[in-house]
Amino acid sequence: MKAINRRPVTVTWLTAGYCTHPEWVTIRGGSRRNVRFPAGFAVIEHPERGILLFDTGYASRFFDAAAGWPYWIYREMTPVFFEERQSAASQLLDKFGKRAEEIRTVIVSHFHADHIAGLRDFPEAAFYCFRSAYEAIRGKRGWSALRAGFLPDLMPSDFAERAVLLEGSGDSWQPLPDDLPFSTGCDLFGDGSVVAVDVSGHAAGQMGVFMTTEEGELFLCADAVWSSRAYRERRPPHPAASIIMSSRSDYRTSFEKLCQLHEDRPNLRIMPSHCREYGVPAGKEENG
């Protein structure tokens, strides 16, 4: 089987808070209960670039950003539980001895609040994302922002200057091994360490990334599915979930690719951002 990445990295999966939501919306056959959805993010240790982040999870500013009308509807739909020590910035300091100002790169899978709430904690970071993801939320406020799952106050004021907007095609796109359901991938740093593909549908221009660690190959698929059971058992979300999707047909295409990827490379670990198999933070359910 041909390798996807030329350069190995180390990946640590962490969570920064969680929200609760009825399980049946997120997966066909799910229970009526409210379940916890941890807000996962990845710390990537790159041999030359140091520590990079893939998303940030929640941060305490989420509560302010979601306080006004109509944004508080977001909080009502997905009650959030978060403690300051769970922020990406706090955990980087605790677990890696890294101050937030030392982080130079944050990869943004998409612009939903539970993925970008921590961006403003990283004043020196460049933000890597697909241009299509950024264009889908740029300048949005009020209802149009809310419909895109976007809380404008979470964005760093200088985001546009610090963004590395990746086009959907071009020189950095390389052919991927034939057995993969993605024909090409965007080599983010030109060294084959982090290879991005488009998994749109849940959100426009959503990015998933392939990496290889000592333990094997990984695919961080963001919110293309909400749990690993979804691609293992081919169980898509309930149609009710489509109200938050950018495109139902793109969602189906991305979902099918994940199922295919799992069938073709069962040892490649596909990690959805909110999958409970990768840890639910303990927390008091009181500040939602």
- Cβ-proximal residues to 110 (8 Å cutoff; 6+ apart), any chain: 129, 133, 202, 203, 204, 205, 206, 207, 222, 223
Q: How far is the CB of 216 from Zn ion (least distance, A)?
A: 26
- Cβ-proximal residues to 109 (8 Å cutoff; 6+ apart), any chain: 54, 55, 115, 129, 206, 207, 208, 209, 220, 222, 223, 273
Query: CB-wise, 112 or 262, nearer to Zn ion?
Result: 112
Query: CB-wise, 71 or 173, nearer to Zn ion?
Result: 71
Q: How far is the CB of 13 from Zn ion (least distance, A)?
A: 17
Q: How far is the CB of 149 from Zn ion (least distance, A)?
A: 6
Closest by CA position to 44, among listed 211, 221, 223? 211
Query: CB-wise, 21 or 112, nearer to Zn ion?
Result: 112
Q: How far is the CB of 226 from Zn ion (least distance, A)?
A: 9
Query: CB-wise, 21 or 265, nearer to Zn ion?
Result: 21
In the bound state, the residue with its beta carbon closest to Zn ion is 112
Residues that bind Zn ion (CB under 5 A): 112, 223
Q: How far is the CB of 250 from Zn ion (least distance, A)?
A: 14
Segments in the chain forming alpha helices (H): 23-26, 61-65, 72-77, 88-96, 113-116, 131-135, 142-147, 159-162, 228-232, 248-264
Query: CB-wise, 75 or 112, nearer to Zn ion?
Result: 112
